[in-house]
Structure formats: structure tokens, C-alpha cells
Chains A and B, each alone.
Chain A
Amino acid sequence: MRKFKFVVILAVVSVLTLGIYTVFIQSIEESDFTVETIKGNPKQPEVRSIQAELYDNGLKDVDYNVELDGHVQKKTNNFISDLFENPSEEKRAPADFRRFIRSDYVTMLKQDGISYAMGAPDNTKWELQYWEEGKQRVVKKIFPAPAEARKLGETQITPYKKIGDSLYVTIYDLQTEVGTQLYKIDLKGDSIQKINLSVSSQDEISLLGIHNEVIVYYVMENINGTDVSKEKLYMSNGKTTKRLKGLKSFSNGQTELSADGSKLIVLEREMNDFNWTLYDIKTKQVEKHSMDIPLVTDEFGLGEYTTLKDGLIYTANRLNDGIYNVRVIDPLSDRILYEGNIKDKLKREETSLNGLVLK
């Protein structure tokens, strides 16, 4: 042993010091989450798909996915796992599909567990691939680009929504960023139909919703000779278009057509102001709503996440003492469908809310 004295000393120092480091790592406390339901049922369809993403930004980086039924998934990363992680790629999807969606020209829509990816490799053809979560089969379709779409330069196709057997897609010229066109793709009949929205080729349109073949959208119209643009709200069935008046500031927050197609919901969230406006498409009446949301600001950010999806408002807010309040609100009835508190038993200040994932 004496012959190897220096080797032994350094080996012992290495083992001991790394041992101290290991013991320290083991001693770091990690958040322990429980979910307390205040209102509603965590198993109801609107709530079942919600996951709260929480990050521990302390010494040990830990990501948590908390489902509202109390199930918690914990993940720690390292240099190697970081190399093999890419949140933008569908991890469980077949390799062919993952290869397709990584192309620059492909955009994706996830709806009801199906991922629709679409792109135009050139302006003569459109490629569509879709894949259902948990299945290996990828449906691939190639369509000749419609005549009007070919007139545009490099185009960006964005799948917007699937209704029945139809997939609605918007396309616009990537270079000019105007000239948006809307198409309906019949997935059974493999045909494409252009929907005329009666806008000039220079206008930029944003879709707000589609219901029973009626499309609600707004247009940013440039006032000739100036940099000023004006927003105008329209409703179209593809044949006739009607201007919708009476609703202001629909582009400031998140705006969406309600599930029954009767109202537009405009959600505006700023710090502690939690407001939404309902605009009745038939009567043109505007109703203002608000709700008290408890919110604590902290050094790690606002600790707040709010989104409007499928006609419902989903919001999560950090309260005192490691509590995250989650609510699902029906904006039409002004009713809280679900309210729950995600509680961190250890009340770790380093843990912060990243957002809600709606699967």
C-alpha cells in the first residue's frame, strides 16, 4: 500500500469529495405536490386533459407535470438527455412523421389526439400527413396545389381546424406576408375547395372561428398611403360576407368563436385584471365579464398562465405558500367548471409555474 501512497491518497480524496457531493444531491428537497379539488370533478372531459407544468429553478433542475387527478410526473435532465430531447418533435410519433415535421415549411395542428402536419415543398403541390397518438400508422396525402395558390410565391400552409371530415387550412405568401387564402380539404374525398372571404390580396386575415360552414375572421386593412391599419370583423359562409360591427379591440387579447358559434369570446388578461367580452353575432350585443383572480407576483415571474381554448378559459395562478390555483371557466355562463389547488407541501419558492398543457 505504501508503494502506491500518492495514488491511494488522490483516489480516496476523489471518492470522499464526490461522495460528499452525492450526499448533498440526495439531501436537496424536491417539491411534493398534492391536488385539492375545490369545485367540479377532475375527471370531467374538460379537466382530464390538463397538465400543469412546474419547474424547480433551484440548485437541482426538476420539471414536474401535475395532472389534476393528483398524478405527478417528475423529470430531471442531464447533459446527455438534453441532447436527445427536442420538445418541438413528437417523441412518440413514427420516425417518418417526425422527419416530415422537422422540415422548415411544415406547420402542425394538434386536435383531439391527432397531429396534422402540412406544408408545400414547392408551390405546385401540398403535402399532408397525420398521425393519431398511440398508433403507428401515418396517413400521407399529396395534393396538387390549387390554381390560385400557385400564383403566390413561397407559401406557408397552416392547418387551422378539423371539422367533421374537413380540414381547414390557411395559406399565405411568406415573402409578402399577405394574401391569406382559406381552403377546405375533404379528407375522405381528397379534394380541395377554396373558400372566398372577399378580401383584397393585400389584406392580412386572422381566423377567429368556424361553425356550420360560417367563418368569422378579421382583416387588417391598410389605409392607403399610410402605415396605419384598421381592423374589421367579418362573417362569411363562403358565398356572402357580412361586416360585424360593435365589437372593439378584438385583436388585443385572445379571441375565439364559442363552441355553438353564437358568440365571440374576447379574453383580456393583464396582471390582476381578468376580463372577457362576449359579442353576440346575431344581436351584435356586447357583454362584459370579469372575475377576481388571486395572484401573487414573485421574483421568478408572474406565476400566471391564462389561455382560451375550444370556448373555455383555462387559468393557473400562483398564490402564497406554494399553492397554484387552477380554474376552468365557461365564459358564456360565467361559471367556474372546475377549480383546484395544486399544493406544494414543501412550499418551495424556487418552484415556478410554466403553464398549462391542454392535451
Chain B
Amino acid sequence: MKQYLMLTNEELKRSWKMIISIILAMAGIEILTVVGRVIYHERQVQEYMSYAKVSESDAIRTIEKLSFEQASSYFSYIILIGVALVLLYAVQIWYRDWLGESKYIYRLLLLPGNRAKIFFAKFTSLALVIISFIGLQWVVIQLSFVIFNWMIKDDYRATSTLGLSRTLKQLYTMNLVDVLVIVTLALFTVSFLFMLILLERSYRKTKGLLFIVLEVIAIVVIMMGGMYIIETLDIFLSQEISAIMIAIFVLYFIYTIWKSLRLLKWKISV
């Protein structure tokens, strides 16, 4: 356990500067887009007033008041970039061990005890980054909302209550079960990527790529075939179909971890 925690700590330490830089950059860009949107809206009103020679209230009526929902409309794109970066991190966390100058992977593989701890250390690092990412994004939304309310004039503001765009509402549904579902889906994606990377590292070059393609085909066949069989049989209730789909998902999740551990134990050699 201690070795696993130390390895996890080591993984995070090695990426710490990158993680902090990305978090700060994303938070900074998000807050700046809100500030920019408020300034731009105010300028629009002022310009319309001088151009159309109308009062401020008439100009606001034409331009329309600004809500936080509109001011934070770019957040979903920035979050998407964050998701892409997390996926890249899931790839980088393995390849840096092989491709770095010090060939860190040899030290890891030669550690005494079960190699599973290497896998779970990297997996835990990703889990912590993902959960922090979701939590910190919420804090940034709250902070941006405070800044939005502080910057905007009362007459220019559509509503003083917090509103989220449709995409952000999908992520922050105000239900903790949904957070758990999102984290589980994210961890499944990480686990699937880990399996593909370890397949490539186990067999290398053409054979490795072939196995990756086979794994991807397998999951597509499982999904499409499952759906086809369910539709052809036409005997299941929608709740039963949901239960079957969840069962397939859980089994496949377990399979990806099992396969990765097997590859790490038997196929990857120093």
C-alpha cells in the first residue's frame, strides 16, 4: 500500500507543473472570457446609444440584457479542451516512461512485488486529476459568477441568479449520482486507453497496431452486435435493455483492467 501511494505521489510529482499550469490557464481563460463578455456587452450598449441617439434603457432593450449563462457560454469549449488534455495525459503518463532519456519504465518494472501497483498508481493519478478537474471547474464557475455580478451594472444584468448553459447543465446536473456516473465513464475511457497503450507496448509496431485494431473492432462488435440482437429478439423491456447495457459496460470495464494487468505482468519485459 505504501509503495502504491509513493508511486502515485511520484506520478503526480512528475506532472505537477503541467497539471497546475493547465488548471491555472483554464481558470484564467474562463474568467477572462466572462470579463471580456461583460466589457464587450457594455461597449455594445454605449456604441448603440451614440449611433442610434437613444437612451441607455432603450439601448439595453434593443441589445438585450446579459445573463451569466450567456457570459459563460465559452466555458463548455474550454472544458472540452480540458477533457482532451486529460486524455493526452492518459497517453503521456505511460509513454514518458519509455520515451524519456532516463528510461524510467525499467526502474518501475524492476521494482519488487506485483506490477499491478504501477498500473493502479497511474490510474489513481488520473482519477485524482479528473475529480479535481470537475470540482475545480465548479469553483471557477462560482468565482466567475461573483466577478460577473461585481463587474456588470444592475441595469445591464438579465438575472442575478446563477444560470448555466445547456452543455454545462449536462455536466453539473446538481445531482451527486451524476458526478459519480461521469467520473466512472471518464475512468472507463482512461482504462480503455491504458489497455490500448499496453497492447502497443507489449507487441510493438505492426503486431501492436493489429491488436489495437482488433480490440477496437471487438468493442464495436460487442456494442453493435448487442444492440442488433436486442432489437431482433424484441423481447426486452426498456429497463431490461438498460440493465443489460450497464452489465456489459461493467464487465467490459473489468475486462480492460484485467487485460492491462495481464499485459503488464506477462507481456511487457525489461
Contacts and interface: CB of A to CB of B under 8 A. Distances in A.
Contact of B132 (A13, A58, A84, A95): A13
Interface in B216-250: 235, 237-239, 242-243, 245-246
A6 B14 CA distance: 10
A26 to B, nearest CB: 10
Contacts of A77: 175
A18 B134 CA distance: 8
Contacts of B181: 78-80
A10 B238 contact: no
Interface string A5-16: 111001101101
Contacts of B175: 25, 60, 76-78
Contacts, number: 103
B138 to A, nearest CB: 5
Given A7-B5, A17-B138, A18-B135, A84 B179 contact: no
B260 interface: no
A17 B235 CA distance: 45
B128 A59 contact: no
B139 A17 contact: yes
Contact of A10 (B129, B142, B161, B237): B129
B18 interface: no
Does more than half of chain A's interface fall in helix, strand or loop, or is it mixed?
A: helix
Interface string B101-123: 00000000000000000000000
Contact of A89 (B13, B173, B237): B237
Contacts of B72: none
Contact of B237 (A14, A78, A95): A95
A22 B129 contact: no
A83 interface: yes
Contacts of B191: none
B12 A20 contact: no
Nearest to B8: A7
A99 B237 contact: yes
Nearest to B162: A59
Nearest to B138: A21
Contact of B242 (A3, A28, A76, A84): A84
A14 B132 contact: yes
Interface of B: 5-6, 8-9, 12-13, 16, 124, 128-129, 131-132, 134-136, 138-139, 142, 161-164, 169, 172-179, 181, 235, 237-239, 242-243, 245-246
Given A61-B174, A83-B246, A89-B237, 14 more contacts: A3-B5, A7-B5, A13-B135, A13-B136, A14-B135, A16-B135, A21-B135, A21-B138, A21-B179, A24-B138, A28-B174, A59-B162, A59-B174, A98-B237
Interface of A: 3-7, 10-11, 13-14, 16-18, 20-22, 24-25, 28, 58-61, 76-81, 83-84, 86, 89, 95, 98-99, 102
